[in-house]
Amino acid sequence: MCDVLQLQSSILFGSLSLITNNTLCFTLLGFATGIFAIYVAYLRRPSIQFRSLQEAIRNTEANITGAKFIYPENRSIMEQEVRLLKVKRSASLMRCLMLQMGFLAWKSCWELMKEISNCHKDINDIHTAAQLAVEMELQRAYTEDIDKTETILVAVPYSE
C-alpha cells in the first residue's frame, strides 16, 4: 500500500515538474489534492464503513458456525459466538441510529465512525480467536492420532 502511494505521488510530482507555468502547476496540484480529499471522505463515510463491518460480521459468523458444527462442545468457540452476538447487537444499534438521524453532524459522524472502527477491531479479534480455537482442536486431534499410532508401533514387534 505504501509503495503504491509513493509511486503515485512520484508520478504526480514528476508530471507536475514538467509544467513550466507555476500558477498552472499549483492549480493542478490543488485540484488533485481536492479530488483526493473528496475520494477519501467518500470512502470513510459511515455507511461505507458499516457495509464493510456487515461483511466482516457475515464472514466471522460463517466461520464460527462451521467451527461449532465440527466442534460443538468447544467452550472457546461458544465464547466467541457470544462476543459476536454482542457486536451484532452494537452494529444493529448503530444502524438504527444511522436510519433515524439521516444526516449526521460532523461530531456525530466522527463518533459513529469510531464506534464502527471499534466494532471492526472486535470482529477481527473474534475471527482470529475462533480460528485459533479450531487450530487448537486440530492440534489436539493430531496429538491423539500420533499417540495412538505410537502406541500401536510399540505394541507391534518390529521384524525385518
All residues at 6 or more sequence positions from 51 whose CB lies less than 8 Å from its CB, including other chains:
none
pLDDT at 4: 65
**DSSP structural state of residue 18:** T
Torsional sign, CA 132, 133, 136, 138 = negative
Does pLDDT of 125 surpass 90?
A: yes
Cα(129)–Cα(134) distance, rounded to whole angstroms? 9
CB atoms within 10 A of CB 115: 19
Task: Name the packing angle between helices 22-43 and 2-17 (round to 10°).
Answer: 160
pLDDT at 160: 63
| C-alpha cell, 10 | 512520484
Q: Residue 55: which pLDDT band, with cuts at 50, 70 and 90?
A: very high
Which range, 11-20, 38-47, 149-158, has the best average confidence (pLDDT)?
Answer: 149-158
Does pLDDT of 42 surpass 70?
A: yes
Residues in the chain: 160
Instruction: Report the pLDDT averaged over residues 90-94.
Output: 92
pTM over cut 0.95: no
Does pLDDT of 150 surpass 70?
A: yes
Per the CB < 8 A criterion, the answer to whether 79 and 12 are in contact is no
Q: For residue 20, give the 3-state DSSP assignment.
A: coil
Cα(119)–Cα(117) distance, rounded to whole angstroms? 5
Q: Residue 23: which pLDDT band, with cuts at 50, 70 and 90?
A: confident
Instruction: Report the pLDDT averaged over residues 108-129.
Output: 91
pLDDT at 127: 95
Cα(70)–Cα(137) distance, rounded to whole angstroms? 10
The whole-chain average pLDDT of the chain stands at 85
All residues at 6 or more sequence positions from 62 whose CB lies less than 8 Å from its CB, including other chains:
none
Per-domain boundaries in the chain: 1-43, 45-155
pLDDT per position as a tens digit, 57-74 = 999 999 999 999 998 888
pLDDT per position as a tens digit, 129-144 = 999 999 999 999 999 9
